[in-house]
Structure 1
Amino acid sequence: MIDIKKLNQDSENEIKSVKTADELFVVEKKYLARGDGEVVKLLRQLKDLPVEEKRKIGPEIQELKKYIEDLVNRRRSELADEAQKESEKYFDRSLPGKPVGRGTAHPISQFMDRAEDIFTRLGFETVDEREVDNEFYNFDALNTPKDHPARDIQDTYYVMNPESWSLKHQSNDTRYKIQDTRLLLRTHTSTAQIRAMKDRKPPVRIISPGRVFRHEATDASHETTFNQLEGFVVDKNIRVSDLIGTIKEFFARMYYDKDIKLRVRPHFFPFVEPGMEIDISCIFCNQKGCSVCKHSGWLESAGSGMIHPEVLNNMGVDPKIYSGFAFGFGIDRMVMVYYGIDDIRLLYSGDLRFIKQF
């Protein structure tokens, strides 16, 4: 026989009489457990009843279940309030509170600010540019061929719906049609070269720091998201010696308290001619070879070179009158050297125990 009223009264009495959260859990399980709870047992008895009684008693059992759930939740809140009041009896309001922790800038932000300050003193203007751009600014305007491997999806993150964002461009070269290019996450801060020169005329000295994105495997010295600092100068009679002198001056001011060696070696970049890599000596192994420097004793820190005449044309600058140099620092690796961090992934770990050291 199904006695809903008795189960209703029994459950109400038991729930109201519990004194702790553990006791309430036991009572809740007794009545509402899916396998052998009292309410489930009532539902199982329905199969032996005539159809008319099922239609009448079934909804009543569901109402009982809802009623017991409400009683349990209400009693749980009451017990929590009672526990709070009990704990307040032993709370000493005269004790001093915990001091509020002070936040600090991330080590990358600290380094970037210092780098910007150095270049500002050298006469450079800072320009911020967008992180989502199109193929024209990221590749075409920088003299990167259509079949260059850097354009592959294995190396570059492309935006799936480029039609949702319109980017206007005014180019002096009719070979480039901006409406035909795809959107992407910029792979270098060199995009700033063309954009910054749209409303400027030589002479210019510009730096543009920011995040860049590349689809590559991560290790102790590589990340898919990292920071670069682009710098370029356009003026009359700019030479390679001006480029090397600027970079040496920056490193001398930034790493004034460290024994850092620089190495300049030839390298190909489509947007500079000639191109060169700037390496710094590995401080983690004293150039003996380690996992950070790939056992070479050197860390790649910057790509650089004299701006290609084709890129100057895309800037709206006459390469017969003006010349220029450009460089792109890998800020994250330079931060590693500056602070003695042997794994680039720590910078993006979000571990406050690590971040608070700076």
Structure 2
Amino acid sequence: MSGPNTNYDPVEVSALDPANIDAAVEEALAAIAAAGSLDELKAVRTAHQGDRSPLALANREIGALPPSAKAEAGKRVGQARGRVAQALATRQVELEAERDERILVEERVDVTVPAVRRPHGARHPIELVAQRLVDAFVGSGWEVAEGPELESEWLNFDALNLGPDHPARQMQDTFFLDPVDSGLVLRTQTSPVQIRTMLEKEPPIYIVAPGKVFRTDDLDATHTPVFHQIECLAIDKGLTMAHLRGALDAFVRIMFGPETRTRVRANYFPFTEPSMETDFLCFTCHGEETWGSAEPCRTCGGSGWIELGGSGMVNRKVLRTCGIDPDVYSGFAFGLGIERALQLRHGVQGMHEIVEGDVRFSQQFGMEV
């Protein structure tokens, strides 16, 4: 900045030369008019109104003028800077109006256009059936028990009285983890949950164990390598087959209606002794045998009865393995496949419909199965 000079002529200072000031103003006005967006106008403001702009530099020179020249120079520079500021403000309003109008056009929403609604999903009927069964037993005071899908061979087989030579331990039925001698399998049943519960809790025990199980079956109308089971276990003093029959009758009536009748047939399961297979009266033909007829009942195959699942009193060896005295406590266990319950209850023809994941299949069941 120049120092004070009493003989200073403002005309001789190039920054304060009226011609230079007018040129700076005209250049600024041209740049402002050419700005096509708010970002461009921001750059113009910095160039022509900022601290290093020609008019700002001229304004600084006023302080070095003698008192007699300051008023005229200040008026000249102030008017020039005012014209630029006014032009900037006017152009700012114009560009903002253009931006707002453009946004209204580009982001306009036609409220008269029919909305494209995204269809809602649906809970899978397998989950709904499982929840219905679980709720029935929880309402009677039973507890829900869960366990891992990756199990040890001991929990999946040995503790359930399935010896090393039992057919279910062969490779064609079980998914073994590499290496094969690791002792780990994908559980083939939910019964290991019962073993874990008996090892961890003291009787009395009343649990229901739903879950996913795995077997090396090919997918067809009646089989799938991944399916769901629900098993029930009761351990207490004085439990008998009569208690098992009562629990089974309650189970079947909850699933298939209060008038459903059941029957039992002797069978063999390593986990239970004595063991039995439970059937219930066909809800389609109502027990009328149609063997050999031209049109046998498609639901029960003409026998009049539908097989439900295995059950029995918990084997004394299993109780002893889990640290429960079989001379003091007894228990019963039963279970069934949830996919089979869904097929029987709603006439689902094949496993493909259940596992393919088509939401239209799930939606037809609503929120309750």
In the superposition, the TM-score normalised over structure 2's length comes to 0.63
**Partner amino acid, structure 2, of 1:160:** D
Name the CA shift for 1:335/1:189 in 2 (closer, same or farther; >3 Å): same
Alignment of 1:198 with 2:199, yes or no, is yes
**Partner amino acid, structure 1, of 2:266:** P
Tell me which of 306, 312, 329 is aligned to 1:305: 312
Partner of 1:129: 147
**Partner amino acid, structure 2, of 1:341:** V
2:249–2:261 Cα contact (<8 Å) kept: no
1:292–1:342 Cα contact (<8 Å) kept: no
Q: Distance in 2 between matches of 1:349 and 1:297?
A: 31
2:276–2:311 Cα contact (<8 Å) kept: yes
Q: Distance in 2 between matches of 1:215 and 1:286?
A: 35
Task: Name the SS of the counterpart of 1:112 in structure 2.
Answer: helix
**Partner amino acid, structure 2, of 1:136:** W
Alignment of 1:97 with 2:98, yes or no, is no
Alignment of 1:344 with 2:351, yes or no, is yes
Q: Distance in 1 between matches of 2:220 and 2:285?
A: 17
Tell me which of 171, 178, 181 is aligned to 1:153: 171
Alignment of 1:275 with 2:275, yes or no, is yes
**CA offset digits 1:324-347 (Å, max 9, x no partner):** 001122211111122221223311
Q: Distance in 2 between matches of 1:280 and 1:266?
A: 15
**CA offset digits 1:262-308 (Å, max 9, x no partner):** 23111100010001112234456666456765665544322110000
**CA offset digits 1:89-136 (Å, max 9, x no partner):** 999453141223222210111111111110001111001111110110
Q: Distance in 1 between matches of 2:308 and 2:254?
A: 16
Alignment of 1:318 with 2:319, yes or no, is no
Name the CA shift for 1:299/1:132 in 2 (closer, same or farther; >3 Å): farther
Q: Distance in 2 between matches of 1:324 and 1:121?
A: 20
Q: Distance in 1 between matches of 2:213 and 2:336?
A: 12
Task: Name the SS of the counterpart of 2:257 in structure 1.
Answer: coil
Segments of 5+ residues of structure 2 without an aligned counterpart are 1-105, 291-295
Name the CA shift for 1:283/1:218 in 2 (closer, same or farther; >3 Å): farther
Partner of 1:61: none
**CA offset digits 1:213-243 (Å, max 9, x no partner):** 1123444332222111111000111000100
The number of aligned residues is: 253
Task: Name the SS of the counterpart of 2:239 in structure 1.
Answer: coil
1:189–1:228 Cα contact (<8 Å) kept: yes
Name the CA shift for 1:89/1:236 in 2 (closer, same or farther; >3 Å): closer
Q: Distance in 1 between matches of 2:350 and 2:304?
A: 16
The percentage of aligned residue pairs carrying the same residue is 41
Partner of 2:136: 118
**Partner amino acid, structure 2, of 1:316:** G
Q: Distance in 2 between matches of 1:105 and 1:235?
A: 36
Q: Distance in 1 between matches of 2:252 and 2:351?
A: 20
Q: Distance in 1 between matches of 2:351 and 2:263?
A: 22
Q: Distance in 2 between matches of 1:340 and 1:100?
A: 29
Partner of 2:225: 224
Match runs of 1:204-243 below 5 Å: 204-243=205-244
2:264–2:276 Cα contact (<8 Å) kept: yes
Which of these two proteins has the greater Rg computed from alpha carbons? Answer: 2
Q: Distance in 1 between matches of 2:270 and 2:261?
A: 27
**Partner amino acid, structure 1, of 2:129:** F
**CA offset digits 1:22-75 (Å, max 9, x no partner):** xxxxxxxxxxxxxxxxxxxxxxxxxxxxxxxxxxxxxxxxxxxxxxxxxxxxxx
Name the CA shift for 1:126/1:90 in 2 (closer, same or farther; >3 Å): closer
Question: Which 10-residue stretch deviates more, 120-129 or 91-100?
Answer: 91-100
Q: CA RMSD in A?
A: 2.5
Match runs of 1:163-202 below 5 Å: 182-202=183-203
Q: Distance in 2 between matches of 1:219 and 1:197?
A: 36
Name the CA shift for 1:293/1:132 in 2 (closer, same or farther; >3 Å): farther
Name the CA shift for 1:320/1:300 in 2 (closer, same or farther; >3 Å): same
Q: Distance in 2 between matches of 1:351 and 1:306?
A: 40
In the superposition, the TM-score normalised over structure 1's length comes to 0.65
Q: Distance in 2 between matches of 1:213 and 1:126?
A: 20
1:189–1:328 Cα contact (<8 Å) kept: no
Name the CA shift for 1:277/1:332 in 2 (closer, same or farther; >3 Å): same
Segments of 5+ residues of structure 1 without an aligned counterpart are 1-87, 163-179
Q: Distance in 2 between matches of 1:222 and 1:207?
A: 24
